[in-house]
Amino acid sequence: MVQDPLRAGFGERLAAGVAERGPLCVGIDPHPSLLHAWGLDETPGSVERFAMTAVEALAGEVAVLKPQSAFFECYGSAGVAVLERVMREAQSAGALVLLDVKRGDIGSTMTAYAMAYLDEHSPVSADAITVSPYLGYGSLAPAIGIAEQNGRGVFVLARTSNPEGAGLQQSVHGSGDSIAQSIVDSAAESNRGKAPLGHVGVVAGATIPPGELDFSSLNGPILAPGLGAQGATLKDLKAVFGRALPNVLPTTSRDVLRHGPNGLREAATRIKHDLALMLNP
């Protein structure tokens, strides 16, 4: 696979999107409870109505939309067909699509996952995906390489916002650092020398203790879940990420989607406004 020299890298495309639209990332999660709150049932048709309403309201407003693949996959081929449409329509409206799939495997299987989600000819090709490094960071090499060749990105789980992750992610690595810090440092190596940002981001929850991780050498984006429903606030973002804050993509889903089809754009606009005030006081 030969890299197109005219294709901008993911870091460059992301930086341009954030400069134009701000850093907010909104999840599209057709969870049953949200479907019911919108007066919808649990069918592929309702999932399509829910997700496409979100795309129409948000894809022209935010830099990044993050569909959660599982909530589409559970409806089988009909749900995946909805996901394909959601991704294409969101990209056509100018949003980058970060597909939340959290894939992680070895060798040819990891390559197949990468081709499924990061090759431009795939029907579910995203601008970036989430990946899990817990078979070893080196196992992600196919995804990292294919993403770079295709001008796309990966976000590696480092320090997630769920409480269950802390025991593993805070464990001490052979280097003396935590497992989470070793993942951040490995991502930094993948991004070395890239401008304006590398294509390897990390996932680090906005709910983690301030100062736990050092992002100073990352040179890549940070996806920060936990804003809103999981308890994190905009003030927490500044405390947790410090000088790395300009590279943070705060992400929320329920805190926007719970406002329903008529209120979700206004909710996202309000969060965008508050973020802009924090970043540019």
Catalytic residue numbers, as ranges: 102
Q: Which residue has the tokens 């799939």?
A: 101
Sign of CA dihedral 170, 206, 9, 132: positive
Decide: 60 and 93 in contact? Cβ < 8 Å: yes
Spell out the residues 6+ positions from residue 266 whose beta carbon is closer than 8 angstroms to its own.
259
Do residues 23 and 250 touch, judged by C-beta distance below 8 A?
yes
Distance CA 54, CA 262 (A): 10
Mention every residue, 6+ apart, whose C-beta is less than 8 A from residue 59: 65, 89, 90, 92, 93, 94, 95
Sequence-distant (≥ 6) Cβ neighbours of residue 127 within 8 angstroms: 10, 13, 91, 96, 97, 98, 152, 153
Contact 129, 143 (CB under 8 A): yes
CA distance 234 to 279: 10
Contact 67, 100 (CB under 8 A): yes
Rounded CA-CA distance 95/60 in Å is: 7
- Whether residue 140 contacts residue 131, with contact meaning beta carbons closer than 8 Å, is answered with yes
